[in-house]
Amino acid sequence: MALILLNSFVVICVVIIHYEFLFRLTALLPKIGVIHRFRIVIGVLVALVAHAIEVWIFAFAYYFMHNSDGWGHLEGNFNGSLMDCSYYSFTTFTTLGFGDITPIGGIRYLTGIESLTGLVLITWTASFLFLEMQRYWKSKELK
């Protein structure tokens, strides 16, 4: 039960963070006094920051789980550091998964839910940026 609660808490946190970033970006972009193309670039940079923060939240969860009894552990090309947890989280969130670090025990479930969450949030960002591009990139600007 604790595993489900922890996994749910982490996912809820990153989804709320992502929503807040995109919501605030929606309000901010029209107010920025630069040409429309640069607004999209700013949107991409802000989205990258949001994703990095979300990945780090998962990394802290891995670090906690790996260094606590009963949650499972990570093994392979892994030394237990927060930086290795971050690397593992980035490869999992993006579904890249090099396979050099393997989850053992209950921590496997966080790995699975992070992949699914990362896929959904990256897709959400892509959809958001596409809609922003449609709003700002009118046919007269492309000529």
Q: Which domains does the chain have, with CATH numbers?
A: 35-133 (1.10.287.70)
Phi then psi for residue 104, to 5 deg, are -125, 130
Position 117, amino acid: T
Position 87, amino acid: Y
Nearest to residue 132, comparing CAs of 17, 15, 26?
26
Band the pLDDT of 30: cuts 50, 70, 90: confident
Helices 36-66, 107-136: inter-axial angle, 10-degree rounding: 170
pLDDT score of 45 more than 70: yes
> 40 near 143, Cβ under 8 Å?
no
> pLDDT tens digits for 65-114?
999 999 999 999 999 999 999 999 999 999 998 999 999 999 999 999 99
Cα 122 from Cα 126, distance rounded (Å)? 6
> pLDDT tens digits for 102-138?
999 999 999 999 999 999 999 999 999 999 888 777 6
> 111 near 7, Cβ under 8 Å?
no
- How big is the chain, counted in residues? 143
Count CA within 13 A, CB hemisphere, residue 47: 21
Cα 59 from Cα 64, distance rounded (Å)? 9
